[in-house]
Amino acid sequence: MEQLTTSQVSSIDQQHIWHPYSSLTSPIPAYHVVSATGVRLKLADGRELIDGMSSWWSAIHGYNHPRLNIALKDQIDTMSHVMFGGIIHEPAAQLCKTLVDITPDGLEKVFLSDSGSVSVEVALKMAIQYWYSLGQPQKTRILSLRKGYHGDTFGAMSVCDPVTGMHHLFSSTLAQQLFTESPRCRFHDDWDESYIADIKNLLEKHSHELAAVILEPILQGTGGMHFYSPTYLKRVRELCDEHDVLLIVDEIATGFGRTGKLFGCEWADITPDILCIGKAMTGGYMTLAATLCTSKISDGICNGEAGVFMHGPTFMGNPLACSVANASIDLLLSTNWQARISDIEQQLKSGLAPAKDFDNVTDVRCLGAVGVIETKKPVDVAQIQKQFVAEGIWVRPFGTRVYVMPPYIISKSDLDTLMRGMLNVVQNHKN
């Protein structure tokens, strides 16, 4: 196939390509990336940008990493894909065993899928089918947190915040779930039982119809970039046990070290009934996700009417994705990643602190390899994106949140450049 020129790529993009959360009548310019190495994205015009987004939080090792490249190259000569129905292969076996070993104790069964949203769909279906199998078919509703975000497919949309979760246009077609207030406690706040009063009340009133509670542990991501107390998570686990409701934890954004623990659950030392992971699992190389559950859940489902779990993605257990996931997890665990995340956190805290004094900023917060500047008014994405690119950095804000989740390999000097660019742009941005 003949290689396209830069102008041809731009023309095709403008005429035919619909980017995520974008308008085709008032499009935001897309920047033509021709290569990516380390923490840098190279544009077609020769400029290089320091990546602050890890390609939506997934490229934790940066780009074009030799160990991950080799894993894919070696696997493709053996087997790129086979159906997972009735077939097993070594990359999937290795991956599933590793996931059981590194996730919280008790999560022993692994269902692979091809995206984070699908892993949430799988989790919801597991919870509902579990109760159906146990003779309680009325337990079908899910209790979710406001400001939560769990994906863009229909089941996942139903448990996103119905107002701020970007999906209110579809509210009349979605399953009607229950919502509790977003945690009012910050990560380091002293604990007060009033923080769980609302969810406690809802569980007491609706446990007869609730299949599960779903939440993002410690960090509410796309719904607001909000860090909350580990004690909240611990108390929710206790309340779910008390009221016989399952707990689903969505670690798609928080998994694989982002908050300073390998998984967000570890901050509260809890094991959910069902766990969703994705994004960073392959180091950003390929789309892959997983839903883990306890034997209690799998036994309940498989001893029920259907006798099987009613789900089966076509590309489940793709060997290429499993191989690079194995390499990515091994690469992470073979490094002193905890110290690296701690260093990034301290640098983010000191580097972004000056923004607290900006007239247009309401808050600055950091945890692990996550730094957030919250503005008083929503930013103009097209305008601010252009300003970031002019600074030589790639930052993709949403609403009032200007945030970074850089690759773990970012150097101190590159992180300084990234933060200086953020401060310059935010201070001078006119909403």
Residue ranges per structural domain of the chain? 6-64+336-428, 70-333
Residue of 31 and 168 predicted with greater confidence:
31
Radius of gyration of the chain (CA): 22
Contact 381, 30 (CB under 8 A): no
* Residue 224 scores a pLDDT above 80: yes
Give per-residue pLDDT as tens, 240-280.
Answer: 999 999 999 999 999 999 999 999 999 999 999 999 999 99
Residue 223: pLDDT band by 50, 70, 90 thresholds? confident
pLDDT recorded at residue 259: 98
* Residue 344 scores a pLDDT above 80: yes
Cα(364)–Cα(431) distance, integer angstroms: 18
Q: What is the DSSP letter of 68?
A: H
The CB density around residue 299, as the number of other CB atoms within 10 Å, is 14
Which fold is adopted by the domain 6-64+336-428? Aspartate Aminotransferase, domain 1 (3.90.1150)
- Asked whether the whole model's pTM tops 0.75, one would answer yes
Q: What is the DSSP letter of 397?
A: -
pLDDT recorded at residue 166: 65
Q: In 3D, which of 117, 152, 159 has the Cα closest to residue 278?
A: 117
Helices (H), 319-402: 319-333, 337-352, 381-390
Catalytic site positions: 21, 149, 250, 279
Cα(121)–Cα(150) distance, integer angstroms: 9
Mean pLDDT of the region 286-305: 97
Residue of 170 and 335 predicted with greater confidence:
335
Residue 96 has phi, psi (to 5 degrees) of -65, -40
DSSP string, 199-250: HHHHHHHHTTTEEEEEE-SSEETTTT-EE--HHHHHHHHHHHHHTT-EEEEE
| Maximum distance among all Cα pairs of the chain, rounded to whole angstroms | 64
Give the architecture-level CATH label for domain 70-333. 3-Layer(aba) Sandwich (3.40)
Give per-residue pLDDT as tens, 365-411.
Answer: 999 999 999 999 999 998 999 999 999 999 999 999 999 999 999 99
pLDDT recorded at residue 336: 97
247 pairs with which residues across the strands? 213
pLDDT recorded at residue 21: 87
